[in-house]
Structure 1
């Protein structure tokens, strides 16, 4: 891998990580803490949405972020022919 490809690979990698961390922060801080009271006005499967997000929803989203990262990094590795 030449220098340009190497930089492009790491730029794409850090962009992916940044975007996933933004989603993580939104879910964990905004939806699960700051907006709990307004979200509690909405019912989700018979439970207040704010409570559900804080207890179950955030965990499910975090697991989804892990799988998204693994899938996207596999695509990046193949695109840039990055050897592990």
Structure 2
């Protein structure tokens, strides 16, 4: 395997690792907080709404948008690390 292929393989493995972590976070927030932990979170209020309801309706969307920006930042760093930032 050439050096270029080794870099590309390492780059892809790290990219998949980042994607897996970020998607797991999104799953936990959207499914976990909005459905599984709804009853426990509904004990608290945010902006006049029960927290479980808020996560199901608004919070998971906000977290998703934040995760997009985190992914962009991570990928920019990864591109520079492996020399794909041109």
TM-score using structure 1 length: 0.90
Question: 43-52 or 25-34: which moved more?
Answer: 43-52
Return 5+ residue gaps in structure 2 as ranges.
none
Secondary structure in structure 2 of the residue aligned to 1:82: coil
Which residue, 61, 67, 70 being the options, matches 1:68?
A: 70
Partner Cα distance (2:6, 2:82) in 1: 11
Provide, for residues 5-42 of structure 1, a one-character-per-residue CA deviation record: whole Å limited to 9, x for no partner.
Answer: 11110111000000011011101111111111111011
In the alignment of these two chains, the number of paired residues is: 84
TM-score, length of structure 2 as denominator length: 0.88
Q: Any residues of structure 2 matched to 1:1-84 within 5 Å, and which? A: 2-82=4-84
